[in-house]
Every structure is written in C-alpha cells, then in structure tokens.
Chains A and B, each alone.
Chain A
Amino acid sequence: MDLTLRIWRQRTAGEAGAMTTYRVTGISEDMSFLEMLDHLNEELILAGDEPVAFDHDCREGICGACGMVINGQAHGPERTTTCQLHMRHFSDGDTIDVEPWRAAAFPVVKDLVVDRSAFDRIIGSGGYVSVPTGSAPDAHATPVPKPVADLAFEHAECIGCGACVAACPNGSAMLFTSAKVVHLNVLPQGAPERESRVLGMVDAMDDQGFGGCTNTGECATACPKGIPLQSIATMNREYLRASLKGGRRR
C-alpha cells in the first residue's frame, strides 16, 4: 500500500518542531508500524536526509520503549503497543499523523523521542519493597492467597510506556503510579511500607509536573496492558488512609 505520513520533526529539545509530510510506497500489510518507519528511514538515509528518531527496543510489546501518537491516539487504533500494531489496520492511500507523546512531564528529546525519566523518579520514591539482598525469609514463609497474588500481578504488568499520560487531557500519571501502588500494597510483603509508599509516590508524581486526575478514563482505554481504571480509586483510598494515619514519606 502507499501512504502519506505526517510526522513530527524536531531536531532538539530547544528547537521548534513541525509536522513534515512524507510519501511511502510498497508497504506490506504484514509490516509492523515500526517496520514501516524503518522502511521510510532507509529511504531517507539514501536520499541524504535525516531519518526519523523514535524509541523502540524489544518489538514484542513488553519493554515499553516504543510509543507514539498515531492519528491522535496513543499507540494508534488498536489496543496494543506501537511495535505490535501492524499495517493491515490501515488502508492504501491513508494519511497518517505521527506525533510524540504530548505531556509537560515528557519533554521532547528529538522527533518522536521523549524523556520519560520522571517515571523512574516516581518509582524511586517508594515503588519498591525495602529488602536488601540476602535478608529474605524462605519464599513459603508467608503464603499469599491466590486472588491477592493475581490482583498484584494484574497491576504489575504495567510496562511504563507512558501511553496513559499521553492519552490523558491533563497529562496525569495516576494510572502508572497507582499500578505500582496497588501491586505492592496488596501484598503482605509490601505492607510495612504501605503508607510511606503511596505518600512518597504521589508526592513525586506531583513534583514531576504531571497533571491532576479528572476521571476521564482515557488512560485505561489507551493502556496496552489493560491496567484497570479502578486502580486509581484504590490509590486514592490508600492515600487518604495513609494521610489519616499520619503516615509520612520516609
């Protein structure tokens, strides 16, 4: 198929960017969206132009590196990561808009590449269990009911891609943050730091410049891993509970 691409090009963080139009021809419907961009980049290099920069790595939908706004939707029309989106979901002659994640807390680095290090700082503010290597009791010392383990797993599936933030009209990181809070707070292993975790992570989230949550739910719709919207409510409850208990960040 032949396509028209309108891609956000921006040389550096400090410079202004603009949508630039490219034509690609002979695109196979079996290509992934990233392979289609590979194809464009090969042509750009040979034509003496600069290829489009974009983040990607595993191309299996698990590392969370890739992500772009395709026709206004984070990761495009299917509920999956950009690397797992295939060209068969587009038609010959389509015009496709490709933009980076748009959020104040994710500044553009170049073209479609953004800086998501704010996520790492949220995790560093409480998204862990303090258990130095070697200090663990036997794995069977604390049984965990299966439904609890399954609930924790469901939230631990987050890949940190940032689609939730990109999809949110407020650029909020509530879904990302709550996924980790719920994962660790429901487990007995996470209980001793239950209050400090949620307070610390929510504080960090605010410090990093993410917006507030107004319950639009776009985040959960865009999430390629299906993190449930309910996790935000759970985090709010955890936050309130921790505040009332007078818990504080470490």
Chain B
Amino acid sequence: MPDPSDISDYPHYTTGEPVTDTAAPGGPIAERWDRRRFEAKLVNPANRRKHTVIVVGTGLAGGAAGATLAEQGYHVVQFCYQDSPRRAHSIAAQGGINAAKNYRNDGDSVHRLFYDTVKGGDFRARESNVHRLAQVSVEIIDQCVAQGVPFAREYGGLLDTRSFGGVQVSRTFYARGQTGQQLLLGAYQALSRQIDAGNVEMHARTEMLDLIVVNGRARGIVARDLITGAVSTYVADAVVLASGGYGNVFYLSTNAKNSNATAIWRAHRRGAYFANPCFTQIHPTCIPRSGDHQSKLTLMSESLRNDGRIWVPKAKGDTRPPGEIPEAERDYYLERIYPAFGNLVPRDIASRAAKNVCDEGRGVGPGGQGVYLDFADAIRRMGRKAVEAKYGNLFEMYERITAEDPYEVPMRIYPAIHYTMGGLWVDYDLQTTVPGLFAIGEANFSDHGANRLGASALMQGLADGYFVLPSTINDFLARHPHDAVPADHPAVTEAVAEVTDRLRRLLAVGGDRTPDSFHRELGELLWDECGMARTDAGLRKALGRIPALREEFWRRIRVPGTGEELNQSLEKANRIVDYLELAELMCLDALHRTESCGGHFREESATPDGEAARKDEEFSYAAAWQFTGTGSPPVLHREDLTFEHVHPTQRSYA
C-alpha cells in the first residue's frame, strides 16, 4: 500500500492557479455586506423588465429568488422537474431554521451565530460569507412571518424557539416537525403570486440538461419537457442554479427520489468549478434499510437522542431479541466512549461510532446494519405520557414504516446520507467561475465548510434566495451589457446536439441491466469507500471501479420506450450518467484531502483516541476542481482560507 500521506504518485489530477479573487470586500467583517451592496451598480427599475433571468429549481433558494427577482421587476423564467413548484425537497426538512434574533436574551448575537457556523464547519468555510449569512438570518424570520408562515408560538403570542444541534443558545425557529414545508410553501406562494401576475414564466415538469455558454458567459439552458420529451433552449441574461445537493449519488439517502446532480454537473462540465465534493453529511438517526427493495431512507429527528439511549449487544452476532439481553450484556457505546456528551455527540461522531460497532459485527436488525435507540429508561423516568407528548408523532412514523412499537421494543437506527456541503464553487456574490452563472442554496459550496449545523440549511437557502442573490445579480446585470443570442448560434446548437445525442444513445443501447441496478451498484460502492470513513486503499479501489462501471453502463443499460414521451426510465438513466462522473470526482477529492475534517473522515488522519484530526497547515483551503473531460485528470485550484475572527481549534467531545 502506498504511503497515505503521499498522493503525488496519484496521476489523476493536476494543480492549477489558486483562486485568489473571491469578490469579498475588505474592511471590518460586520461592514462587508453593507459595503458590497453600496458598491454594487443598480439596474434602473424601468430597465429591469428587459432583463431575463433563468432560475432552475423551486426549493427554498430557487423559490425565494424567483419571487424576489420578479418583485424587483426582472423577467424570470423558472424551471422544476416536479409537477408543481410546491414539491421541491426543501419541503421535507423537519427541524427548524436558525436566526440570531436573540429574542431569548440568552447571549445570542450575529457574531455568535457566525462563530458557531465557522467552528461547526470545522474551519473550512469562508468567513465573509458566513458572517453575511448570520446577519441576514434575522431578516428571514421577519419575511416568513409576514408571509403567514405559522411558526410555533408561545401563549403570549410571540415566537417560540428551541436549541438545536448542540449550541448553547435557543435560536431555532420551528413549525412542529414541518418547518421546511411551511417555509417552502411561503416561498411557493410568493412565487405563485408572481406567476399569476405574469412576471415569472414557470415551466414545471421540465428538467435542465445543459448550460449554454456564449463567449465565456452563461446565456441559457437546454431543457427537456418531461411530458412531451421536447428538448428546447431558453436564453437569458443570467442563469441561477438552485437545484439542490447531490446526496442521491449514493442511491440510498434521505433526499427525494428525483433530486439529482445533473444541472450542477452539466454546469461543471461547461466550466464551473466544483468545490469540496467529498464534504457530505451523514445523519445518525435514520430508519435502517429493511431489505434490498429499499428505495430511500427516512430521517428521524435528531431530538430523539435527547432522551433515547443508544446501545448494541456486547457480544458479536448476538441475535436475541433486545428485551432478552440483560443490562450487563449491553454496550451503551456513546456513553462509554464520550462520557461528557454521551448520546448527544455531534452528528458525524455519532454516525461513525454506529458504523464502528456494526463493522465489529455487533449491529442489530437485518444485515446487522442498525443500533438500538432505547426509550425504556425515559419511559420509566418520565412516564409513557410524557414521552408520548414529546415524541409521539415520531414514534408513530417509525411504527408506520417498521411495524414495531417503539414504546415496547427499542427503535433501530442507522446513519444515512443527508446533505452535501460541497457544490459549485461560488464567490462572495454567489457567482460561479462561469460569468453570469450563479449557484444558490445546497447547490453551492459556500457556507457550511466541512460540516453543516442543524437548522442551518433552511437559513442558507432562504438567505441566498431572498436577500443575497437579488442584490448581487443586480450588480452583474448592470455591469455586463450583452447582445441577444441568436437561436442558431453555434454554442446553442452544439449544446442541443449534445443533449439529444446523449438521450438517443441511452435509448439505443438496449442492454440487459436497468438504470436502478447501476445506480444501486454505484451507490453501494460510494457508501462503502467514500461514506462515513474513508481510506487511501478504499478510495483507490473506488477510483479503479468507477470508470469500469461507466463503461459497463454504456454497454449494458436498457432504457425502454422513446424520447418523445413521458419516460421515467430515460430520466433516471440520464441522471446516472452524471453520477458516474461526479462519483469519481468525490473519491478523488476525498483521496487528495489526506486530513479528516467535519463530514470527511480519513482513517489515516485520526487522533490517538480515534477522533478526526485536521491538518490546517496543509489543507486550510477549499478545493475547487476544474473539469477537463470524462475520465481525464481534473485541475485542482485552491482557495486558501484565512481565519481572522474565529481561530481554528481541534474539536473535543470526550
């Protein structure tokens, strides 16, 4: 095995110029956003309707951006693959949304939220962006309340908050376990108002399949009408990608089944750098898979760990029912290893510990891929009624899926892919390396570093969509006048030809394997080698296997039907083509980053007691990758991160 710290022998990437211009203004950090907005050029309100902006995606980021840009007077052309903009996967977020309101008078502030987010991200995020996120957070709550979002309230009529994700202040606003749904419906309603007013041209059931770049600038997209199969081009003055994360590359994840990476990957192929693809988040409390038929994973709120105790049998291969395993033969491993934090250690640590005990052969349930989350003590201590009041709806959901009663039998949980911190590289203006192409929400890499804190995804999506992008895109449109793009421009016809050719090729193979069978195989490989714990050998193995799988895909894929109709198999297969390239970049990024940080755990880089060890001298940068061709070595551009306000420290939870 090669020396893990030396990857110079790995020939599959080259190093290019560092990224030095992040467009972040200088000066005191608390004044940068004001300064940026003041320095931005504005588009005369009367001229805005002459500008067309494409927005891809209608989740929290895209829905908020489309509505806001239309309110400002721009002509917005918006797309989603779902049958309605109301269904984007932001809708499934449960927990809440952070904001530095300090309504509790418990010592919270913009600076504290900024500090917590940089630290929580394990010091791999850009300070300027994170500070702005914390500043904007307070406006989000105001906006959503005014829209009629029914946040939880106290008897005095004021908003309730709770603490979340191990922070010491109570800054998370919530709407029962459906915060994402309520926030998304707020954005959807604002967007619907603009659609009805004719300011947004909405294309539902239409999927972006490529980016059109003319003279180095993003000028439109190629999209397929999923009902008729028609491939069309749409041109604009700027393109905004709000298409979400890429967690579905793992096949099994908590993402919606059709969430995909095609929009961002196609943009990457057209020149947008892809940053930190190996930074993926694994959530510790999901319902384990019940068999090979499993199509997706369901998350159970993290709050369960407040009262549930996690354990596995002490002995390997103990198949007795949990009730028959005496106390002395149980291993409450989190309480044993982390006596101070116990069952409340951060997500990444809880997930890895579960993997370790299962790898030792002590996992429970089908395939030994699960651990118990036991409420017996809580029921004894608080009484069944109190447990029911606190967790009743979660217990019900668990029982509906597993047919087991968690009041009687301990729950079984296992970690699952949940969120991707990596994404398209963007500067302070949320612009990618392709001028005129912006990426917002989970689609970009910007704010969470190597690990996202709970209740921060909703905050970032809405911050980008309602407040940040509408300000910065103004400046871009004001400064970069342009000519119209003729429909027969070579860049347009080439992009269309590439898309139609790929669809035609997928339909023509006529092989003997279904799209799902390839997706499952790729997902399992990634989960094993680029999941919760990564090693040099494992990543090299995956990097060897992926190109072979790609080759096999193009030889054996079977896509029934035609391209001129609703064809869900064709949609799937086309997304897998991109996963098969993205997966390779994820593994390469994970291989090159020989440190452990946040969600990226390299077994070779651990403290003596097995915890993640960062290497700040070598890796205090964001890795922005440039595409050079399928299977050919990408170019690594480093954006060095400097920490003026939050000083890097090693996390400790023992």
A-side residues, CB < 8 A to B, are: 11-12, 28-32, 34-35, 38-39, 42, 44-46, 48-51, 53, 55-60, 62-65, 80, 84, 86, 88, 109-110, 113, 115-117, 119-121, 123-125, 127-140, 142-146, 149-150, 152-153, 156-157, 159-160, 183-184, 187, 189-190
Contacts and interface: CB of A to CB of B under 8 A. Distances in A.
A28 B291 contact: yes
- Nearest 6 CB-CB pairings of A with B: A143-B157, A124-B196, A136-B146, A128-B189, A153-B150, A30-B290
Interface in B158-204: 158-159, 175-176, 178, 181-182, 185, 188-190, 192-193, 195-196, 202, 204
B143 interface: yes
27 contacts: A42-B514, A57-B82, A57-B89, A57-B257, A57-B258, A58-B256, A59-B296, A63-B82, A63-B256, A86-B400, A120-B84, A123-B86, A123-B189, A127-B192, A136-B139, A138-B142, A139-B101, A139-B159, A143-B158, A145-B153, A153-B182, A156-B150, A156-B175, A183-B148, A189-B146, A189-B147, A189-B148
Contacts of B291: 28, 30-31
Interface of B: 64, 67-68, 71, 82-87, 89, 91-92, 101, 103, 139, 141-148, 150-159, 175-176, 178, 181-182, 185, 188-190, 192-193, 195-196, 202, 204, 227, 256-259, 290-291, 293-296, 298, 400-403, 466-467, 470, 512, 514, 516-517, 558, 560-561, 565-566, 568-569
Given A57-B257, A144-B153, A153-B175, A32 B295 contact: yes
A125 B624 CA distance: 44
Given A28-B293, A110-B565, A117-B204, A49 B560 contact: yes
B178 A62 contact: yes
Nearest to B88: A63
Contact of A113 (B189, B298, B402, B566): B566
A224 B550 CA distance: 41
B92 A131 contact: no
A150 B182 CA distance: 13
B139 A184 contact: no
Nearest to A189: B148
B188 to A, nearest CB: 7
B54 to A, nearest CB: 19
Contacts of A132: 68, 71
Contacts of B89: 57-58, 63
B145 A136 contact: yes
A217 B639 CA distance: 60
A45 B141 contact: no
Nearest to A31: B293
Query: A-side binding surface: helix, strand, loop or mixed?
Result: loop
A135 B145 CA distance: 12
A94 B336 CA distance: 49
A62 B86 contact: no
B67 A59 contact: no
A39 B569 contact: no
A179 to B, nearest CB: 11
Given A28-B291, A42-B514, A59-B256, A144 B146 contact: no
Given A131-B147, A132-B71, A53 B568 contact: yes
A56 B572 CA distance: 13
Contacts of B293: 28, 30-31, 35, 38-39
Contacts of B159: 139-140
Contact of A128 (B82, B143, B147, B227): B147
A109 B227 contact: yes
Contact of A51 (B155, B290, B400, B568): B568
A89 B223 CA distance: 41
B143 A131 contact: yes
Nearest to A56: B257
Contacts of A124: 192-193, 195-196
